[in-house]
Amino acid sequence: MKRLKFQFMKDIGFPFIVSVSRMGRKAKRPDHPNFGPPLRSAHKLKKIMSAHYFLSRYAKGAVPVAWVTSGAPVEILRPFGFYTVYPENHGALCGARKMGGDLCAISETQGFSRDLCSYARIDLGVFLSGTTPVGRLPRPDLLFASNNICQTVLYWFRILAHHLNIPLIVFDTPFNFNEITESSISYMVHQIEEMIPRLEKISGKTFRFSTFREVIEIARETSHLWGLVLSTMKAHPSPMTIFDAFVHMAPVVCLRGLEVARNYYKELLKELKERVLKGIGGIRSEKKRLMWDNIPIWFLIKDLAELFAQRDMNFVVATYTNAWAETTPLLDEGKPFESIAKAYSLIILNNNLQHRQKLMKRLIDEYKVDGVVIHSARSCKPYSIGQYDIKQIINDEFGSPSMILEGDIADQRVCSRDDIKREIEIFFEYMSSS
């Protein structure tokens, strides 16, 4: 019965709701004086992500449900039909809606430290209160995590696994101090192979290798398309801003391995190429090109976008958005287990600082970057460690002006808007004199 209801809402219920909402759509907003015309694809993205969260309400009992960390190899779950929810993606949404502080406060009343990642505190606050901007989240049958981005996710998901009394599967990726080794690859491959019997038991479905290979192919092409989307921002002017990219990265993060994500990026790429040919920029006047390092300050995206656009400065590249294009093209349906091991262990946060420096230098050169803004995120210590050394290297060796912005990814209570604006004004003065 639940399966039928899920299918009905997917095929009939949600499309009907969308059609009704269109009838009451407001008139087109006037053009913004500092930005180019909005991306047409944004409407499609909103529909895709709304459908994803809407249908998740009906997933429990109809299909197996998994909560997944952003760095986990979701491809292994797809052949078993898991409906996947990403607490980090949901945490970013809560932060953008300026609900992060209230949800963090709920978890803090239960003894969770204010120094913990705000994504974790938001998710635990949602778990404790049931409050969410998407209506409700489905109770998971499985928690799936990887430590390639941080260790916090392991403790966070262990707490959830304990309270929900459900399985937790962890994909352990050895840190790359130099180059990835064959022994590390073998270790990770054995982990993936050992997951299959557990996933069969949890989902009630038999693993099909042919389906897995198809998923790998879709995931690889999706990530490749995302990389091409980002590459259009090498154009002068860039056809969108990095703040646009922060929003449009949602499908490659949480719908990777599904046809809907691959199709979406084909559409977005086509639109961006058209804008490049017509000389349409993400901002109306692009005189300086910038790089963003670290996770966005989700609750300040609009404010920061407007502040920099007013000074004719456009963010055209970010280490964060690049993470989903940098290694996942390594996925190979011919060697799916080995390629997953490589792709998910070679990401920026599972590598040494020399790797990160080389990556940033390459992006600065390829995107013709004039300056770098480094977000020192209170919540994300693995991403923020070493940033003062990196700033010095960027200034001295790369020859690019840079600044460090103290902030947080989703908890607006610990972030001073006045301090941030003051630091940015100093950066503006430096950039205008360089």
Give the pLDDT band (50/70/90) at residue 433: confident
| pLDDT(15) > 90 | no
| pLDDT(204) > 70 | yes
Output the six-digit token pair for 392. 């010095």
Nearest to 205 by CA among 293, 319, 92, 78: 78
Is the alpha carbon torsion for 106, 109, 111, 112 positive or negative? positive
Q: Is 347 in contact with 327 (CB distance < 8 Å)?
A: yes
CA distance linking residue 280 with residue 275, whole number of Å: 5
| pLDDT(28) > 60 | no
Q: Is 410 in contact with 100 (CB distance < 8 Å)?
A: yes
pLDDT for 425 equals 94
CA distance linking residue 136 with residue 293, whole number of Å: 32
Q: Is 298 in contact with 97 (CB distance < 8 Å)?
A: no
Q: Is 129 in contact with 103 (CB distance < 8 Å)?
A: yes
| pLDDT(24) > 80 | no
Q: Across 105-162, where does the E strand assignment appear?
A: 142-146
pLDDT for 92 equals 97
pLDDT digits (tens, 9 = 90+) for 89-101: 999 999 999 999 9
pLDDT over 70 for what percent of the chain?
Answer: 97
pLDDT digits (tens, 9 = 90+) for 141-171: 999 999 999 999 999 999 999 999 999 999 9
Q: What is the overall mean pLDDT for the chain?
A: 94
pLDDT mean over 225-244: 98
Calculate ∠ Cα 26-27-29, nearest 5°: 105
CB within 8 Å of 380: residues ≥ 6 apart: 117, 150, 294, 295, 409
CA distance linking residue 262 with residue 255, whole number of Å: 9
pLDDT for 13 equals 78
CA distance linking residue 373 with residue 136, whole number of Å: 35
pLDDT for 415 equals 86
pLDDT digits (tens, 9 = 90+) for 130-148: 999 999 999 999 999 999 9
CA distance linking residue 138 with residue 202, whole number of Å: 16
> 305 by DSSP, 3-state: which?
helix
| pLDDT(23) > 90 | no
pLDDT mean over 121-136: 95
Q: Across 135-273, where does the E strand assignment appear?
A: 142-146, 168-171
| pLDDT(27) > 50 | no
Q: Is 65 in contact with 55 (CB distance < 8 Å)?
A: no
What are the φ/ψ torsions at residue 155 (nearest 5 degrees)?
-70, -40
Q: Is 390 in contact with 356 (CB distance < 8 Å)?
A: yes
pLDDT digits (tens, 9 = 90+) for 292-318: 999 999 999 999 999 999 999 999 999
pLDDT mean over 4-18: 80
Q: How many CB atoms lie within 10 A of CB 432?
A: 12
